[in-house]
Structure formats: structure tokens, C-alpha cells
Amino acid sequence: APIADVRPALDLDWDALQGAVAGCRACGLCETRHTTVFGVGPQRADWMVIGEAPGENEDLQGEPFVGQAGKLLDNMLRAIGLDRRSNVYIANVLKCRPPGNRNPEPQEVAQCEPFLRRQVELVQPRIILAMGRFAVQSLLQSQEPVGKLRGRVHSYQGVPLVVTYHPAYLLRNLADKAKAWSDLCLALEVAERGVQA
């Protein structure tokens, strides 16, 4: 289907945007998904967390970060006084699960990103925390690894953006948890004090 199917999402309100995602057939992932994963959290939130794409659990439950990685994310957020139901809007770059959790393809991202852009416009967060190489590189249009991009404040659509490791990666690489902690602290500082991107 043509990209024109997705572009009008840029003007949609929450209900219409959610409906557009639920019915989206703009790329091949619509053939293999069980359900779309729109995002979760308050419609206005100071924090927005952006991951890669739904995994197996998310594809079945329709909510982002509900598996093992999600438990770690919840713990990380709780450690700085945040809760997914009350202060954080959580979404992914892709709204549908790539089969077998393969990496998203550029054309899938191109079709899907307008949805995320609109979510960012509607949420109007004070800070975006981008997690993992895929989300980070897509949002920042960069080829640099997370290790090179973390530790400073970037910007996405004018919103300050801080980069950190994906919680699924942290589950396998405990040594990098200290860096993720410092990334969270940087994001918290930006959210509270409005450090310029």
C-alpha cells in the first residue's frame, strides 16, 4: 500500500490515530502480527519511553514492554519515581512485531514512523528516553552505536532526547547497568530542569 495511507495520521486526534494504527495495512507486518501495539500511558506525560518493536508477548497482549525486558524497564522507572500507568507514555518505533523479532526494515520504519511522530506531538513530553540501538538510530538518523550516542542530550522533533541501552540488552549485559543508571539520571535532570538539547 502507498505511504499516503499513513501520512494523514499526522493530523489525527488520539482516537483516530489509535484507529489508524489498529487498521494499518501499510507494510507486510500486518500479515503476521496478532495485534498492533499502539502505546500505553497518559495522553499527556512528562516522560516518553521509545523502544524498538513489539516482541512475542507484546504482539499477543497489545501493550508495549510487558515481557522480561518490560519488567526491567518498570523497575528502572520505579527507581526514579516513575510509573508506566501514571507518568510515562511508552511506545515503540514499530507498532507491529517483525516475525521472529528480526530487525525492522527501513521501509517498515518509513511507513510506521509518522504514527510515532504524531504520538510525540500529542504527548508533548519534556524528555524522550530512546532505548536500544534500533530506536536510537532511527530517531536520530544516525549510524553510531548507543555507546557513542549516550551521555548527552539530543533532540527529536524539538523534544530533548536521551539515549540508553535496551533493557533486553541489559538483562544479558549486567555490566552496563551502571551506564543505564547514569542515562536515567541525565534524563531525569532534563525532565526536571529543562536542560537545552
Pairing between strand 154-156 and 47-51?
A: unpaired
- Block residue for cell numbers 506531538: 121
Residues 6 or more apart in contact with residue 12 via CB below 8 angstroms? 20, 118
Nearer to ligand URA, 37 or 186 (CB): 37
With respect to ligand URA, which residue has the nearer C-beta, 58 or 108?
Answer: 58
Alpha-carbon Rg for the chain, nearest whole angstrom, is 16
Among 39, 41, 51, 98, contact with ligand URA (rule: CB under 6 A): 51
Cβ of residue 17: shortest distance to ligand URA, in angstroms?
A: 18
Question: By CB under 6 A, how many residues form the interface with ligand URA?
Answer: 11
Beta bridge partners of 29: none
The residue type found at 3 is: I
Per-residue x/- mask for ligand URA, residues 63 to 92, rule CB under 6 A? -xx---x----------------------x
Segment 89 to 118, residues that bind ligand URA, using CB under 6 A: 92
Residues 138-197 that bind ligand URA (CB under 6 A): 168
Closest by CA to 35, choosing from 49, 50, 24, is 24
In the bound complex, which residue of the shown chain has the CB atom lying closest to ligand URA? 51
48 in helix, strand or coil? strand
Residue 129, beta-bridge partner list: 49, 162
Task: Find the part of the chain contacting ligand URA (CB under 6 A) among 24-32, 62-70, 77-85, 181-189.
Answer: 62-70
What is d(CA 14, CA 12) in angstroms, rounded to the nearest whole number?
A: 7
Q: Which of 58, 59, 74, 183 binds ligand URA (CB under 6 A)?
A: 58
* Shortest reach from residue 46's CB to ligand URA, in Å: 20
Q: How far apart are CA 150 and CA 99, in angstroms?
A: 29
- Residues in contact with ligand URA by CB under 6 A are 51-55, 58, 64-65, 69, 92, 168
